[in-house]
């Protein structure tokens, strides 16, 4: 009799627990990105229709990334205190996911815009970019510095600086300013243009002037080894819309009386902050998704409030597969971190994530915002 009871209990346990040791209904706390290993079904098909369900039967969306034939990664859109499981899916294993989650596709973007609409507008919190993210974006750029630029940097280090520089947070990482000097000349923004003034206190004559063109606003400057970098905010008119663009013009000022334009770079979005390390300028810029509003009647769904018109985000020109999504941070804002090689004409390296940026701190290895 005891043997029969034990066999029955063993059979019942096997029915409740899958062969992989996981309960068929795996409830978990969704407080961070998770990796889901699937026993049955294809990851791509499951990702398209995935819903989370709590013990009361309420359902929730998640940002879903396919990371293998039988693996997906999921990240929360909203804060949920209840335990959750994956709806209509059994025999899976849940573990913490350490990698980046990306917006990745239009399906995830629609879930995010739907959540923002339901909660009456965009959420724009401040949060930190994952440590080392900038290093991932620009590691190759820093490795391709030319021998001549290395030599000039060494020469510069050996000289004793007898003039005042911009106060910086980290030695070796320069910060932009509206006034700079290289000891010989003063470079300053004056009435929207750039003036190069003789630093000789007895002279103080204007050597040259770089005028700012229409629809451009000169924000900040860098000067290093006779290379002057001017950072502009620019309104670009394209496809019947104005778009914010950040422009960087690099001049040779070895002859300060005749600045020579060497190169021009650009980054998407409006300039927020920048840093310079060696020959690379890192810009942090901000932009927004274009929003497509639908003609729908207002719905009285909260006391004293009307719902916003239905809308969707337009991702034209945005690579969602490279846009990092931070847990609990849906937003209509986009932050770009762009690395620009000032000594070369090569294309920029770019990292982008959904959300806004806070104050910037950059060490010699990574950036936080």
pLDDT at 192 over 90: yes
Instruction: Please give the model's pTM, rounded to 2 decimal places.
Output: 0.77
- Residue 8 in this model has a pLDDT that exceeds 70: no
- Residue 339 scores a pLDDT above 80: yes
Q: Where are the domains of the chain?
A: 2-99, 133-368
Q: What does the pLDDT read at residue 91?
A: 85
Stretch 343-357: mean pLDDT:
87
Q: What pLDDT is stored for residue 171 in this prediction?
A: 85
Comparing 194 with 19, the larger pLDDT belongs to: 194
Taking alpha carbons only, the member of 224, 273, 268, 271 closest to residue 250 is 224
**pLDDT at residue 303 in the model:** 44
Residue 273 has pLDDT above 50, yes or no: yes
Given this model, what pLDDT does residue 85 score?
93
| Top-confidence residue, 256 or 305 | 256
353 to 229, 267, 302: CA distances (angstroms): 26, 14, 32
CA distances to 166, 208, 278 from 247, rounded to whole Å, are 22, 21, 19
Kind and range of the H or E run holding 246: strand 241-252
DSSP 98-164: -S--B--SHHHHHHHHHHHHHTTS------PPPTTHHHHHHHHHHHT--HHHHHHHHHHHHSPP-S-
Question: What mean pLDDT value characterizes the chain?
Answer: 79
Q: How much is the pLDDT for 112?
A: 93
- What are the tens digits of pLDDT across the range 129-174? 333 444 444 444 444 333 334 444 444 444 445 555 666 678 889 9
Dump pLDDT digits (tens) for 112-138. 998 988 875 543 333 333 334 444 444
Task: Specify the higher pLDDT residue, 241 or 49.
Answer: 49
DSSP state of 177: B
For the stretch 224-259, pLDDT in tens is: 999 999 999 998 877 667 788 999 999 999 999 999
What are the tokens at 32?
């961070």
Q: How far is CA 325 from CA 215, 272, 348, in A?
A: 32, 20, 22
pLDDT digits (tens, 9 = 90+) for 15-26: 333 333 444 568
Q: 3-state class of 2 per DSSP?
A: helix
Segment 283-290 shows an average pLDDT of: 92
Position 221 scores a pLDDT of 97
């Amino acid at each position: 009799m005891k043997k029969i009871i034990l066999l029955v209990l063993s059979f019942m346990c096997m029915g409740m627990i899958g062969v992989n040791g996981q309960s068929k209904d795996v409830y978990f706390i969704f407080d961070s990105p998770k990796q889901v290993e699937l026993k049955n079904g294809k990851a791509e098909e499951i990702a398209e229709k995935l819903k989370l369900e709590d013990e009361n039967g309420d359902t929730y969306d998640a940002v879903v990334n396919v990371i293998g034939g039988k693996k997906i990664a999921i990240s929360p859109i909203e804060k949920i205190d209840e335990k959750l499981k994956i709806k209509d899916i059994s025999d899976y294993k849940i573990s913490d996911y350490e990698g980046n989650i990306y917006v990745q596709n239009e399906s995830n973007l629609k879930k995010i815009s739907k959540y923002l609409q339901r909660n009456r507008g965009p959420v724009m919190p401040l949060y930190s970019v994952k440590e080392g993210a900038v290093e991932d974006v620009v590691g190759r750029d820093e490795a391709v510095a030319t021998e001549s630029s290395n030599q000039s940097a060494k020469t510069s280090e050996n000289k004793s600086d007898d003039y005042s520089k911009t106060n910086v947070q980290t030695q070796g990482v320069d910060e932009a300013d509206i006034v700079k000097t290289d000891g010989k000349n003063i470079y300053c923004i004056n009435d929207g243009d750039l003036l190069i003034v003789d630093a000789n206190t007895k002279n103080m004559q204007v050597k040259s002037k770089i005028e700012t063109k229409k629809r451009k606003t000169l924000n900040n400057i860098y000067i290093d080894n006779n290379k002057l970098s001017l950072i502009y905010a620019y309104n670009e008119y394209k496809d019947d819309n104005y778009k914010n663009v950040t422009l960087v013009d690099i001049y040779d000022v070895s002859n300060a009386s005749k600045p020579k334009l060497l190169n021009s770079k650009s980054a998407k979005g409006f300039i927020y902050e920048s840093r310079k390390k060696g020959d690379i300028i890192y810009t942090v810029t901000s932009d927004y998704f274009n929003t497509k509003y639908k003609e729908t009647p207002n719905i009285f769904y909260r006391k004293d409030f009307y719902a916003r018109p239905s809308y969707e985000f337009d991702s034209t020109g945005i690579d969602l597969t490279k846009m990092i999504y931070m847990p609990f941070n849906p937003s209509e804002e986009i932050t770009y971190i762009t690395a620009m090689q000032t000594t070369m004409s090569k294309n920029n390296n770019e990292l982008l994530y959904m959300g806004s940026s806070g104050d910037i701190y950059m060490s010699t290895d990574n950036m936080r915002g």
